[in-house]
């Protein structure tokens, strides 16, 4: 079985293949896992059913050993077949949350009101079952971390008088899963609302923003269906570290390596403003988190920072 890596589907200069062969001891488990998943896919398609990646894992924990092996094999299968997991009857487990002025209507008649739960509601498992969205929101705000998401909800960011406009807030709880990314894209396509991202002023926060906006290398063969290039970076910007005198910590060796990796990416090099912010982070050799904005007052993030960014259109 020959698998084309993700990169070769988007850039011919990376054309190469990797092999997974049953007669090679080091490939035997990978090969068996792929055949097992393919059998489940065939079953899903012929019976018009679906299953989650979690259900796949618990269907044969001895074979898979961990969830990561399920994910890797599924990515390879999708790349091999040139399709997406959801088209193969495999839905992905959602860890993301959504809150705010949004009602989600599903094909089976179920209605999810995202405004009634104070801590947000879980993003639906089957994004393709969403029939339409109903909202009066003026923008969508993606928040990197669940802790920041919950704090902002507790501070009343959804109150119109606090941020001037009703909004929808989403968190992928760190690096977003595919379902969260797919939900963001579907919400944008069907609502055409502007989307802003609030992440830490560190290389991993910037990478998370870029994953929503440009896609990920791991899922390059599906980036067109998962990314939203019009997403704007609201903050926290490395330039805010200086202008607001934010509390910082030094960059680690891994942080510096991640910056160098990001600087090589074409979408970074072609975006002057993001490039300058990343270079500023590199030269500062310091990083700051969203939580650093609470050192002024506990409500500074929602009551001042976001409000001023919205009014000044200081995002890019």
pLDDT digits 0-9 by tens, 84-134:
777 777 777 778 999 988 999 988 888 999 888 878 888 887 777 788 898
The answer to whether 58 is a known catalytic residue is yes
Q: Helix or strand or coil: residue 113?
A: strand
User: Domain holding 75: CATH number?
Assistant: 1.10.10.10
Based on the fold, state whether residues 34 and 151 are members of the same structural domain: no
Structure token digits, residue 160: 């119109």
pLDDT of 256 higher than 90: yes
**In the block, residue with structure tokens 């077949």:** 81
Q: Which of 91, 113, 139 is the last residue of a domain?
A: 91
Based on the fold, state whether residues 18 and 167 are members of the same structural domain: no
The number of residues making up the chain comes to 316
pLDDT given at position 219:
62
What range does the domain containing 17 cover? 2-91
Task: Enumerate the H helices of 67-113 as residue ranges.
Answer: 67-81
Q: Active-site residue among 58, 165, 267, 305?
A: 58
Region 127-154 average pLDDT: 88
Q: Mean pLDDT for the chain?
A: 82
Contacts of 313 (CB under 8 A, 6+ apart): none
Q: Helix or strand or coil: residue 18?
A: strand
User: Domain holding 251: CATH number?
Assistant: 3.40.1360.10
Based on the fold, state whether residues 166 and 275 are members of the same structural domain: yes
Q: Which of 46, 71, 91 is the last residue of a domain?
A: 91
Calculate the alpha carbon distances from 242 to 144, 201, 219, 236, 313 in Å. 21, 12, 35, 12, 19
Based on the fold, state whether residues 271 and 133 are members of the same structural domain: yes
Based on the fold, state whether residues 138 and 199 are members of the same structural domain: yes
Based on the fold, state whether residues 79 and 190 are members of the same structural domain: no
Question: Looking at the 3D structure of the chain, how many domains does it have?
Answer: 2
Structure token digits, residue 313: 């259109």
Percent of the chain topping pLDDT 70: 87
Based on the fold, state whether residues 153 and 19 are members of the same structural domain: no
Q: Which of 91, 120, 147 is the last residue of a domain?
A: 91
> Cβ(103)–Cβ(132) under 8 Å?
no
pLDDT digits 0-9 by tens, 263-283:
988 888 888 999 999 999 999
Based on the fold, state whether residues 77 and 147 are members of the same structural domain: no
pLDDT of 161 higher than 70: no
Based on the fold, state whether residues 144 and 15 are members of the same structural domain: no
Rounded Cα distance, 85 and 78, in Å:
6
Contacts of 237 (CB under 8 A, 6+ apart): 201, 277
Based on the fold, state whether residues 41 and 118 are members of the same structural domain: no
Based on the fold, state whether residues 46 and 103 are members of the same structural domain: no
Based on the fold, state whether residues 39 and 106 are members of the same structural domain: no
């Amino acid at each position: 079985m020959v698998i084309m890596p993700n990169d070769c589907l988007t850039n011919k200069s990376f054309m190469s293949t990797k092999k997974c062969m049953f007669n090679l001891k080091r490939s035997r488990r990978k090969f068996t896992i792929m055949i097992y998943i393919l059998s489940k896919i065939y079953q899903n398609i012929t019976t018009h059913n679906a299953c989650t990646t979690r259900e796949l894992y618990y269907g044969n924990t001895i074979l898979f050993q961990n969830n990561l092996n399920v994910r890797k094999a599924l990515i390879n299968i999708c790349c091999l077949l040139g399709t997406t997991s959801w088209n193969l009857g495999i839905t992905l487990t959602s860890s993301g949350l959504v809150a705010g002025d949004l009602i989600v209507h599903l094909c089976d008649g179920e209605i999810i009101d995202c405004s009634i739960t104070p801590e947000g509601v879980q993003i639906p498992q089957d994004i393709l079952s969403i029939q339409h969205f109903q909202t009066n929101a003026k923008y969508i705000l993606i928040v990197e971390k669940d802790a920041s998401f919950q704090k902002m909800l507790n501070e009343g960011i959804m109150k119109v008088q606090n941020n001037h406009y009703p909004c929808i807030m989403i968190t992928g709880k760190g690096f977003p899963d595919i379902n969260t990314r797919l939900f963001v894209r579907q919400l944008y396509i069907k609502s055409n609302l502007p989307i802003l991202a609030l992440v830490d002023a560190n290389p991993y926060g910037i990478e998370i923003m870029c994953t929503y906006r440009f896609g990920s290398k791991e899922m390059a063969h599906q980036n067109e269906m998962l990314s939203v290039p019009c997403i704007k970076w609201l903050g926290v910007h490395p330039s805010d570290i200086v202008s607001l005198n934010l509390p910082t910590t030094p960059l680690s060796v891994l942080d510096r390596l991640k910056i160098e990796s990001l600087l090589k990416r074409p979408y970074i090099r072609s975006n002057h403003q993001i490039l300058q912010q990343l270079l500023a982070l590199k030269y500062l050799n310091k990083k700051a988190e969203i939580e650093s904005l609470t050192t002024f007052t506990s409500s500074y993030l929602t009551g001042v920072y976001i409000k001023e960014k919205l009014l000044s259109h200081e995002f890019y």
